[in-house]
Amino acid sequence: MFQMPFSRKGVTYPMASSTYYKNLAVLSVLLVASVILYAVGQGSSDAPAQLQAAGSYAMPASIYLFAALIGIIFVRRSSMTVPAAVQSGCRAASLLVVMTLIAALVPYLSPEPPQGMTLPAVLFWSVLGLPIVDIALGFAYAVAWAPVTGSPADLAAREAEERRRTREAEEERAAMKASSEARAKRREERARRAEEKRSGKGEKSGQQGSGQQGSAKRGKGKKSRK
């Protein structure tokens, strides 16, 4: 199931609300913190070496977190579900990103940071140093939280969507029936008013004819008396 009902009322979301809002809150906090860390660590040459190192790693982390945040919103709003293998692969990739970041960054946070690039740091910058890779992995993190296709959450969402569509179809039929009945009533009302107008005109013309005949008779009576 893959749908894009961004603005429709009553749309179902297979991703659980608790999962969605927790990820939204955590990713937002981490994104703000990484941006601040980058600004502080890279904004001054007088900053400690550990802070500068953390600030340099904060930029790719910020790109990753931003992509993950957008991806979570997309997965939730699109009602996306994925096969179990895809979910497992995305979770493994997300875990690998975190482990690589920790292995690359932690040595540079020690009181005596190493000189030059360590092997984990080389691996980190050769892969996660590319913004397009950060974006792809961030979206993979979001897909890792999508429900599995055919899972109870997916089936419940499908049933809710079917009920919503049935309800909308019934409401549309009821609205069309009410509209046709209203049009029929308006036509009957117009026909009744037209008939009343015709009857009123007939009565007026009859009264005028009777008045003209009475005037003619009165005129004849006056002539005969003369």
pLDDT in tens, 36-52: 998 888 777 777 888 88
> What is the arithmetic mean of pLDDT over 89-107?
92
Helix (H, G, I), strand (E, B) or coil at 18: helix
The percent of residues above 70 in pLDDT, for the chain, comes to 83
pTM over 0.75: no
pLDDT at 89 over 90: yes
Question: How much is the pLDDT for 46?
Answer: 74
Q: Judge contact between 150 and 87, C-beta under 8 A.
A: no
- Arithmetic mean of pLDDT over the chain: 82
pLDDT at 99: 93
Please, what is the Cα angle at 10 between 5 and 13, to 5 degrees?
60
For helices 49-77 and 17-43, the axis angle rounded to 10 degrees is 150
Do 42 and 52 meet the contact criterion of CB atoms below 8 Å apart?
Answer: yes
Highest mean pLDDT among 66-70, 107-111, 180-184: 66-70
Alpha-helical (H) ranges within the chain are 17-43, 49-77, 84-105, 119-127, 131-143, 152-225
Percent above pLDDT 90 for the chain: 31
